[in-house]
A and B are shown apart, each in its own frame.
Chain A
Amino acid sequence: MKRLLYIILYMMLVASASAQVKVMGRVIDLQQKPVSDVIVKLGSGSKTLAFTSSNAQGVYSLEVKNAPTGEVSLQFTHISYEKESERVTLKEKVTKVDMILTPKSISLKEVTVKPDPLRQKGDTLSHNLASFLGKGDVTLEDGLKRLPGVDVAQSGAISYMGKPISQFNIEGLDMLGGKYNLATRNIPADYVTQVEIVRNHHSRRVEKDVPSNEVSMNIRLSNKAKFKPFGQEEAGAGYMEDGNDRIQTLLGVTGMMFTDKFQTICSLKGGNYKNFARTDMYDHFGGNVISTPATNLFGGFDSGAPPQGEYLYQRNGMATLNGIYKLDSVTTVKVNADYSYHRATHDISQSSTYLSGDGSYMTVTEQTSPLSKVHLPKLSVNYLKNADRVYLSDVFFLKGMFEQNEGDVVANEKEIRQRRRSSSFEIDNSFYWSDRTQKGTVRYVSVPISFKRTPTLRLSFNQDGNGYAQTAQSSTLKMNVHTSFTIPIGKAFKVRLPVALNATYDDLETYREVTGERNKIRGWAFDPTMNPGFEIHSRNRRFYMSAGLGAALKGLYYNRLNYTKPVLNPSMGINYTFSANSKLQFSTGYTTQIGDMMTLLTEPMQVDYRTVRTSSGIIGESNTWHTSGDWKWQLPMQYFTLSLAASHSEGKRNTLYSQSVSGIDVSSSALLRDTRSRSSNFSVATTKNFPSLFAKLGADVSYGFGDSEQAVNSDIFKVRSSNYNLHGNASVTPIQWLELRYDIRYGWSRSRYSEESNTVTSLTHSGAIHVFPIATLDLSLDYDHVRRQITTDTYKRMSLFNASAQYKWKQCVLRLELTNLLNQRSYSYTVFDGINAYTYDYGLCGRTTMLRVTFKL
């Protein structure tokens, strides 16, 4: 048996040895020099039998098992030589084939390597800004508009997937707070390398375990923008075809410096060309103006703004000094000092239609040219320690607001003079401390204290030679103490107990000179709250739920009023994170709101020449149940974002807004009557970028409906309203020297009461064409074409065209702007406010030419 096995094994070895052949040789070039790295491949038909490469001496060697009996192909390939092949028959154990190769030129797919446009790391999306920039983009704001999911509003407000950003950092430091226009409109786009968007952002590191819906943005600068000061100077001059200031000017200088420890931005600007200076100072997180009871009651004579077109004749200026110093890796000190001045006037014709007592409609037509002047100085100092275990912040600010308004009006052919003057100031200090123990217990104490005062506010009216006035003054001291601690129980459950005491002292006095009617209210509002609740999350932290009881005691102690009422405001929120790119949120809550001292203003107050306001003296109470949910989905690497949102709220109030019309006089008050309201809203928004085409597409749709009640001349009407809006936009670069942008909006809204139904529609096309005859020259034309419904059968069409030529030369940008080329002088539209209808006709600024130069320093 053994012998038999040996025989079989021997036969197999012989057979195997006889089938294994070797092919070897040497490869040389025409100069007889050896060629290395030649791929030598032995094939039969399409099958590869063996392959190898030649060595530095040009020698190769191939071994083939089970060599075929017929002819085979021996190929010699090299990237720098012509391909050669030879037919061979593998009869011998060793076959020798030498080859001479002929040089050839290489032709490969040449590419330019660019950094990744977008990188994702957890919740952070890093955009390489240069990959998104268009040729005509100058400022950081121009670049931000091109990022997927990012929207920059006309005011400069930045949002990501519909969510406004809650923090704007430069190299990780929050120097400007909500005044980030100062950075986005003054930092050159080519000085920014990365724009990082951080979803689920935590402004306090101690709360990093708490789910967050906040979005923040961080800007990374190139080395040329760091460690040495830089900035830009702007200067411009132009001519407007009408207005008090036909000669238009602008002048500005902005300097900045960014090091690892210190950052500063200082700017000084002024001019009468649009509001180019003042917009830099706009605070997107609020606090632009001082809001006191006196200024809230008597607000001035402006009447909104048209959605398109420049309508204000304005002079404005600003000066700002901002600096942040990093004491250590977690501690900063920040100082911001601002001053801005704004003077604006415009022309407006307004037609207001009211339902009068006999069921007929009464229309008041007014023509006015409101003028407003406001000075806004502000100084703030901020100390911040933001460590993993401790958060300590103290913000002190002092600001003032000095206003003058004129609102002379011609109403139903009568002339009335209106004047308003007010001064207000505010001192505020906010302290916040929080810490987190090793076990995860989080505690905080927050103590904001503010004092606001409007020492004088005076409205004066003059009609048919009769003068009368209304004055007011107010002081408000507000103190809040908030504290809370959160105790983890196990790994997935936390109990929290926030306690707060809000105390407000008010002193408000109004005096209507013509009748001697006076309101004088002094007293305290106390609002202690306790919101025991819990948080629960799954082990993988995908599911998170929180709920709170929201117990509060509302106390109003003004003059002789002693009002105390316990209320409950329970709330619940659920988040589910499907993946880093998909998140579902749901929240619901029941809120009880109690009126404030304003309801005690039972003596009439002259708000404008034809509006007298009187409060009912009834402490209002509204109960609202609000539910909302949204789902956000994004595929960053595919440059795709999608948001779906829905909300519903139902409310009940114990008072009903009531309006009485007599002649052209309108008076408003409140009736003691329960009233209900409902509203529902749905929205979808999506964006998609195509980086290879430099294209961004976006679309959003919203639909809402609801009903409420309103009293007019003692009759009660149920008003049903519904509306939908469609919006689409696209920006593409079909060829290198051409950029196109198109935006379309359609809006439809309907308001119904009794047998009446009013519907208004609007359609707006906007577009821009940028042509680059050479890389540094940008010729652009942008337009808005608007079709708005004024009455049932009347539509108004308006076209606004602007053109510009921008030339970049070294550190300088030269720009010629031609605004309102067709000299369109009015913009009209109608809105329905329940039963009332208002038609506005705004005077637009005339054709303007402006030449401006910007130098990078």
Chain B
Amino acid sequence: MKKILVIMMAFVLTIGAQAQRDTIGVSKFTAIYRYECKTTDADGQPVTDSMYIAVQTSGGITKSFPYEEYDRQKKGGSRIADGYLAAQMHMGTIFTNYPEGRITTQEMLYPYRYMTDEPMEKQNWKLTDAQDTICDYASQSATAKYHGLNWNVYYTEDVPASIGPWKLGGLPGLITKATDANGIHTFTLYGFHQEETPIIFTQHVNWIAPDGRGKFAALRVDYQKMKASKFLAYKKKVLGNSRYVNNPTYYAASPMETFGYVENSFNSAGENISSVAGVVLVSQK
């Protein structure tokens, strides 16, 4: 069987219509960060990618996740997709101190979803004297080594919340800017949404796919659970393979026939599927 797999780059990759969701807290505000990552493309050309990240907090739990997903949740959509860009930049959804003393990360390594777990290591911040104004907030600097990187951050006591983007936090104020010493990753506070929003934890997602009889059906897709360290090694191995760029399913355990053509409101069978957006993969035999 000759199979041609075509990746359709839609803004949203995979969509769950009825995800299993738990509300684990209510955040009184959401901090928005701009994340920039300096990297190279497939041709070795320097590229700076950027995306927005939303950070919610409540009762000691912090959730850092793509703004795209936050926006969709806020608008009442039941979808819980990783954004296309987020998937490309490998910026997952991070729950700090959930469960207590642990960090849970949900990330997509196309076409699978993974959930990892790791202990919440203390970040030993050393407060330094440098000051700056970031996003109109007077900020002081601090440094720490965390996850193998030397972080230089600014935080503001004007926003007394001991949180930050990604897994960073634990300072006497909100982190307003964080840069690793190599200058590859930069998080900069962009502003806030000052409204109460639920902090949602998803157990699994439903994936709309052809059922093999010309119709579409929702398939339950569970996260594949893994230790964070193991997932990191696995991710390096998969992404480090040049085949991934052209055929991101090469490492998939089973053929991708289950994933059909799915697009906003319409499917290839001409049926209307509401709240389904984004094309995943087209499989042609």
Give the interface of A toward B (CB within 8 A): 36-39, 41, 48, 51, 53, 55-56, 77-80, 83, 106-111, 113, 116, 119-123, 223, 226-228, 260, 328-329, 580, 637
The reply to whether the CB of B160 lies closer than 8 angstroms to some CB of chain A is: yes
The reply to whether the CB of B210 lies closer than 8 angstroms to some CB of chain A is: no
The 8 Å CB contact of B162, one of A39, A109, A580, A637, is A39
Which of B108-116, B185-193, B198-206 sits within the interface?
B185-193
A80 B4 Cβ-Cβ under 8 A? no
A79 B172 Cβ-Cβ under 8 A? no
The reply to whether the CB of B46 lies closer than 8 angstroms to some CB of chain A is: yes
**Given A108-B192, A110-B193, A39:B263 Cβ within 8 A:** no
**Given A109-B191, A329-B4, A36:B162 Cβ within 8 A:** no
B172 A41 Cβ-Cβ under 8 A? yes
B43 A122 Cβ-Cβ under 8 A? yes
Find the residue from A108, A123, A228 having the highest chain B CB count within 10 A. Answer: A108
B192 A39 Cβ-Cβ under 8 A? no
Additional A-B contacts beyond A41-B172, A79-B29 (4; CB < 8 A): A106-B28, A108-B29, A113-B67, A122-B47
How far is the CB of B268 from the nearest CB of chain A, in Å? Answer: 10
Question: In this complex, what residue of A is CB-closest to B31?
Answer: A108
A37 B191 Cβ-Cβ under 8 A? no
Bound CA–CA A329/B3 (angstroms): 12
Within 8 A of A (CB), among B1-43: 4, 6, 8, 28-29, 32, 41, 43
**Given A106-B29, A113-B52, A77:B135 Cβ within 8 A:** no
The reply to whether the CB of B50 lies closer than 8 angstroms to some CB of chain A is: yes
B32 A111 Cβ-Cβ under 8 A? yes
**Given A39-B162, A53-B162, A329-B4, A111:B29 Cβ within 8 A:** no
Bound CA–CA A223/B278 (angstroms): 9
Contacts of A106 in B (CB 8 A): 28-29, 194
Bound CA–CA A227/B268 (angstroms): 10
B46 A227 Cβ-Cβ under 8 A? no
The reply to whether the CB of B157 lies closer than 8 angstroms to some CB of chain A is: yes
**Given A39-B173, A77-B160, A79-B28, A111:B190 Cβ within 8 A:** yes
A120 B48 Cβ-Cβ under 8 A? yes
**Given A119-B50, A329-B6, A223:B277 Cβ within 8 A:** yes
The 8 Å CB contact of B263, one of A41, A80, A226, is A226
The reply to whether the CB of B269 lies closer than 8 angstroms to some CB of chain A is: no
23 A–B contact pairs at CB < 8 A? Answer: A37-B57, A37-B60, A37-B162, A39-B157, A39-B162, A51-B171, A51-B172, A77-B157, A79-B28, A106-B194, A108-B29, A108-B194, A109-B135, A110-B192, A113-B32, A113-B191, A122-B43, A226-B263, A226-B264, A227-B266, A228-B266, A329-B6, A637-B48
Bound CA–CA A762/B162 (angstroms): 65
B60 A56 Cβ-Cβ under 8 A? yes
Query: Which A-B residue pairs are the 4 nearest by beta carbons?
Result: A111-B191, A77-B160, A122-B45, A108-B192
The reply to whether the CB of B221 lies closer than 8 angstroms to some CB of chain A is: no
Contacts of B48 in A (CB 8 A): 120, 637
**Given A36-B60, A119-B50, A329-B4, A78:B194 Cβ within 8 A:** no
B41 A37 Cβ-Cβ under 8 A? no
B6 A109 Cβ-Cβ under 8 A? no
B263 A227 Cβ-Cβ under 8 A? yes
The 8 Å CB contact of B191, one of A79, A110, A116, A328, is A110
Bound CA–CA A747/B194 (angstroms): 56
A48 B159 Cβ-Cβ under 8 A? no
The reply to whether the CB of B271 lies closer than 8 angstroms to some CB of chain A is: no
A39 B46 Cβ-Cβ under 8 A? no
Contacts of A122 in B (CB 8 A): 41, 43, 45, 47
Number of interface residues of B (CB under 8 A): 45
Find the residue from A56, A113, A121 having the highest chain B CB count within 10 A. Answer: A113
How far is the CB of B92 from the nearest CB of chain A, in Å? Answer: 19
**Given A110-B193, A329-B4, A223:B263 Cβ within 8 A:** yes
Bound CA–CA A56/B24 (angstroms): 13
Bound CA–CA A106/B27 (angstroms): 12
Contacts of B161 in A (CB 8 A): 37, 39, 79
Bound CA–CA A109/B29 (angstroms): 11
Bound CA–CA A223/B160 (angstroms): 42
Bound CA–CA A260/B159 (angstroms): 48
Contacts of A223 in B (CB 8 A): 263-264, 277
Contacts of A116 in B (CB 8 A): 50
Bound CA–CA A77/B155 (angstroms): 14
Question: In this complex, what residue of A is CB-closest to B125?
Answer: A51
The reply to whether the CB of B240 lies closer than 8 angstroms to some CB of chain A is: no
How far is the CB of A295 from the nearest CB of chain B, in Å? Answer: 47
Contacts of B277 in A (CB 8 A): 223
Contacts of B41 in A (CB 8 A): 121-122
The 8 Å CB contact of A121, one of B6, B47, B58, is B47
Bound CA–CA A226/B67 (angstroms): 25
Contacts of B43 in A (CB 8 A): 122
Contacts of B46 in A (CB 8 A): 580
Contacts of B282 in A (CB 8 A): 260
The 8 Å CB contact of A48, one of B6, B28, B32, B172, is B172
Contacts of A121 in B (CB 8 A): 41, 45, 47, 49
How far is the CB of B285 from the nearest CB of chain A, in Å? Answer: 13
Question: In this complex, what residue of A is CB-closest to B163?
Answer: A37
Bound CA–CA A119/B192 (angstroms): 23
Contacts of A48 in B (CB 8 A): 127, 172
How far is the CB of B103 from the nearest CB of chain A, in Å? Answer: 16
How far is the CB of B256 from the nearest CB of chain A, in Å? Answer: 16
The 8 Å CB contact of A36, one of B45, B59, B71, B137, is B59
Contacts of B194 in A (CB 8 A): 106-108, 110
Contacts of B173 in A (CB 8 A): 39
B59 A56 Cβ-Cβ under 8 A? yes
A79 B159 Cβ-Cβ under 8 A? yes
Bound CA–CA A21/B136 (angstroms): 37
Find the residue from A55, A121, A329 having the highest chain B CB count within 10 A. Answer: A121
B60 A55 Cβ-Cβ under 8 A? yes
Bound CA–CA A48/B126 (angstroms): 11
**Given A83-B160, A113-B32, A580-B45, A328:B57 Cβ within 8 A:** no
Bound CA–CA A108/B263 (angstroms): 38
A113 B172 Cβ-Cβ under 8 A? no
Bound CA–CA A51/B49 (angstroms): 35
Question: In this complex, what residue of B is CB-closest to A47?
Answer: B127
Bound CA–CA A116/B191 (angstroms): 15
How far is the CB of B50 from the nearest CB of chain A, in Å? Answer: 6
B263 A37 Cβ-Cβ under 8 A? no
How far is the CB of B214 from the nearest CB of chain A, in Å? Answer: 18
Bound CA–CA A119/B48 (angstroms): 8
Question: In this complex, what residue of B is CB-closest to A53?
Answer: B162
Bound CA–CA A79/B56 (angstroms): 13
Contacts of A79 in B (CB 8 A): 28-29, 159-161
Interface string of B214-231 (1 = CB under 8 A from A): 000000000000000000
How far is the CB of A199 from the nearest CB of chain B, in Å? Answer: 11
Within 8 A of A (CB), among B46-99: 46-50, 52, 57-60, 67, 71
Question: In this complex, what residue of A is CB-closest to B173?
Answer: A39
Within 8 A of A (CB), among B132-180: 135-137, 157, 159-162, 170-173
Bound CA–CA A38/B172 (angstroms): 9
Contacts of B59 in A (CB 8 A): 36-37, 56
How far is the CB of B59 from the nearest CB of chain A, in Å? Answer: 5
Contacts of B279 in A (CB 8 A): 260
How far is the CB of A834 from the nearest CB of chain B, in Å? Answer: 49
Contacts of A78 in B (CB 8 A): 160
Question: In this complex, what residue of B is CB-closest to A80?
Answer: B28
Bound CA–CA A123/B43 (angstroms): 10
B8 A260 Cβ-Cβ under 8 A? yes
Bound CA–CA A519/B258 (angstroms): 73
**Given A110-B193, A121-B41, A223-B263, A39:B136 Cβ within 8 A:** no
A328 B192 Cβ-Cβ under 8 A? no
How far is the CB of A12 from the nearest CB of chain B, in Å? Answer: 23
Bound CA–CA A111/B191 (angstroms): 5
